[in-house]
């Protein structure tokens, strides 16, 4: 599972080339990108009107996403005889495109999520917040709890909290990595993970302390009926070895 990349104009995507090489070497059966591969900062409502918003452009967002995807997929495409299933769950950053057309109907037909070109790289694209079940594990950019549709704040809440999911699930969206485990009535293990950071850039809004979060990918071994052995692979490891 590849967490949120949030590809931005001006980013260095060598880390994605390293991830691609690692995947090409390990050759997992399935690759899941959990959403927010593209940042789409030109459509952000969070800091619109500030100095940092200057010079943002939709076309630059698309170009950044394409360069990032090229960096990731090129090593995988070069692996002879390797053809994994590839699933990409759209995140709230990609959903900024849909929200822009909802707020400004005149943009309908001018911009679309399809502009990101994910399907052209062989990804099966899952709609925003529509979970997909793979080998007994549910994947979505995030899972909602309560009538307001807010994301679970912790992996533990996904298992033990109110509106618990009662099955293994993997989400992104939230920086860092947290995992919680439990068991079903039949004894089978339940594992819930939230991991939403696979990038090297600095998140200004998090400040110096908040930017010390974990960054990397999750490798899932022996996946069967929702149980698996989780192996976290940090970007620092990939930088040292690739």
Asked if residue 151 has pLDDT above 60, the reply is: yes
Q: Please tell me which of 13-27, 52-66, 204-218 the model is most confident about, judged by mean pLDDT.
A: 13-27
- Give the contacts of 158 (CB within 8 A, at least 6 positions apart): 143, 152, 164, 165, 169, 171, 180, 192, 194
- CB under 8 Å, gap of 24 or more: what pairs does 53-60 form? 56/9, 57/9, 58/111, 60/9
Q: Which helix (H) or strand (E) holds 126?
A: strand 124-126
Mean pLDDT across the stretch 41-51? 70
Q: Is the pLDDT of residue 50 over 60?
A: no
Per-residue pLDDT for 31 more than 70?
yes
C-alpha 83, offset from chain centre: 21
- Three-class secondary structure of residue 5 per DSSP: coil
User: For residue 52, what pLDDT is reported?
Assistant: 55
Could you report the per-residue pLDDT of 161-179, keeping only the tens digit for each?
989 999 999 999 999 999 9
Using 50, 70 and 90 to split pLDDT, how confident is the model at 148?
Answer: confident
Is the model's pLDDT at 51 over the cut of 60? no
- What is the average pLDDT score of the chain? 93
- Quick check: 201 pLDDT over 90? no
Stretch 18-47: mean pLDDT, rounded?
93
């Amino acid at each position: 599972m590849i967490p949120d990349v949030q590809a931005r104009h001006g980013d260095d995507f060598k880390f994605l080339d390293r991830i691609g090489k690692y995947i090409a070497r390990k050759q997992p059966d399935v690759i899941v990108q959990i959403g927010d591969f593209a940042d789409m900062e030109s459509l952000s409502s969070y800091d619109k009107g500030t100095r940092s918003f200057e010079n943002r452009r939709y076309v630059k967002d698309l170009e950044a996403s394409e360069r990032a995807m090229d960096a990731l997929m090129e090593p995988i495409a070069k692996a002879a005889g390797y053809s994994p299933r590839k699933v990409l769950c759209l995140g709230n950053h990609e959903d900024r495109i849909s929200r822009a057309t909802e707020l400004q109907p005149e943009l309908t037909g001018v911009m679309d999520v399809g502009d990101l070109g994910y399907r052209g790289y062989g990804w099966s694209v899952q709609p925003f917040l529509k979970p997909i079940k793979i080998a007994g594990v549910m994947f979505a950019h995030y899972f909602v709890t309560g009538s307001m549709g807010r994301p679970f704040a912790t992996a533990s809440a996904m298992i033990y909290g109110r509106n618990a999911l009662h099955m293994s699930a993997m989400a992104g969206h939230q920086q860092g990595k947290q995992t919680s485990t439990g068991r079903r009535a039949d004894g089978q293990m339940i594992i819930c993970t939230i991991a939403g950071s696979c990038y090297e850039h600095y998140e200004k809004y998090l400040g110096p302390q908040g930017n010390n979060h974990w960054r990397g990918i999750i490798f899932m071994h022996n996946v069967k009926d929702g149980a698996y052995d989780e192996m976290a692979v940090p970007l620092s490891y990939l930088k040292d070895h690739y």
